[in-house]
């Protein structure tokens, strides 16, 4: 069975640009979460979707948005990129956000110059 | 105060040593707990869930202390391949269930 897949793997953007990151969950998983991880820190929660509804939002500015599609895949959008947005963006899926572990994709490494 | 706290280390131990990590959490209503392993520049991978009664998986033992609000991970007979960052995860409850990560504890096992 395929795991969580994310695309693209790497991305280089310039300040002010916009980026869209994509994620396909494990088949049967209805919850998708997005995390941002910078070097030396644990993953920071950005969004959680369950059954196509936003169930949680972390402490990120409105430049960050996301959505979940009917097939449970998800996109994370970041507008007006800043240098500080450079990070590893991780998508994770789970069966049930209440008690199931997260399964991560390989991540998208975003570099903003 | 950070919701989930871990000693970042690094813990530098010889092969064969026993090493333990703790992770404290602030939300007493937290419901589920996990340990993840993360290798350099890779995604976190589930190591084990943490159950109230404690659980063991080979050389790894996880425990939960609800009264003191911490979870622990014990690694026995450390291998070189155990070198990684170990992240604790706490599912915060109260309306939404958001898995919150600690910053991770770095383990280096040397020959």
pLDDT by residue for chain B (111 residues), tens digit each?
558 999 888 999 999 999 999 999 998 888 889 999 999 989 999 999 998 889 999 999 999 999 999 999 999 999 999 999 999 999 876 666 788 999 999 999 999
Q: What is the pLDDT of residue A100?
A: 87
The alpha-carbon gap from A98 to the nearest alpha carbon of chain B, in Å, equals 5
In chain B, which among 11-70 make CB contacts under 8 A with chain A? 31-32, 34, 41-46, 49
Contact between chains at B104 and A99 (C-beta distance less than 8 A): no
Residues of B within 8 A of A101 (CB-CB) are 34, 46, 49, 89
Q: Within an 8 Å CB–CB cutoff, is residue B107 touching chain A?
A: no
Residues of A within 8 A of B32 (CB-CB) are 98-99
Contact between chains at B91 and A33 (C-beta distance less than 8 A): no
Minimum CA–CA partner of B5 in chain A: A42
Interface contacts A/B by beta carbons within 8 Å: 65
Q: What is the pLDDT of residue B96?
A: 67
How many angstroms separate the CA atoms of B19 and B107, rounded? Answer: 9
Contact between chains at A90 and B44 (C-beta distance less than 8 A): yes
Q: What is the pLDDT of residue A1?
A: 62
Among the listed residues A90, A79, A93, the one whose alpha carbon sits nearest the alpha carbon of residue A25: A93
CA distances from B90 to A13, A107, B59, B94, B98 (A): 33, 21, 22, 13, 8
The alpha-carbon gap from B45 to the nearest alpha carbon of chain A, in Å, equals 7
Pairing state between β B105-110 and B11-14: parallel
Q: What is the pLDDT of residue B3?
A: 86
Among the listed residues B66, B107, B59, the one whose alpha carbon sits nearest the alpha carbon of residue B90: B66
Residues of chain A scoring pLDDT < 70 = 1
How many angstroms separate the CA atoms of B35 and A31, rounded? Answer: 20
Instruction: Please answer whether residues B102 and B88 qualify as being in contact, where contact means their C-beta atoms are separated by less than 8 angstroms.
Output: yes
Instruction: Please answer whether residues B106 and B13 qualify as being in contact, where contact means their C-beta atoms are separated by less than 8 angstroms.
Output: no
């Amino acid at each position: 069975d395929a795991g969580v897949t994310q695309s693209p793997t790497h991305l280089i953007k310039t300040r002010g640009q916009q980026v869209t990151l994509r994620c396909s969950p494990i088949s049967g998983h209805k919850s998708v979460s997005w995390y941002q991880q910078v070097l030396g820190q644990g993953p920071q929660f950005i969004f959680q979707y369950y059954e196509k509804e936003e169930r949680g939002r972390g402490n990120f500015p409105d430049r960050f948005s996301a959505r979940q599609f009917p097939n449970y895949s998800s996109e994370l959008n970041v507008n007006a990129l800043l240098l500080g947005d450079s990070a590893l963006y991780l998508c994770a899926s789970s069966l049930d956000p209440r008690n199931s572990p997260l399964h991560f994709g390989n991540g998208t490494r975003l570099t903003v110059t | 105060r950070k919701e989930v706290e871990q000693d970042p280390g690094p813990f530098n131990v010889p092969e064969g040593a026993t090493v333990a990590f703790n992770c404290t959490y602030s939300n007493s209503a937290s419901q589920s707990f996990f340990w993840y392993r993360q290798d350099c520049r890779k995604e976190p991978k589930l190591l084990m869930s943490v159950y109230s009664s404690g659980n063991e998986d080979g050389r790894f033992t996880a425990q939960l202390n609800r009264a003191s609000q911490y979870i622990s991970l014990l690694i026995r007979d450390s291998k070189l391949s155990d070198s990684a960052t170990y992240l604790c995860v706490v599912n915060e409850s109260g309306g939404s269930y958001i898995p919150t990560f600690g910053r991770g504890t770095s383990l280096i096992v040397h020959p």
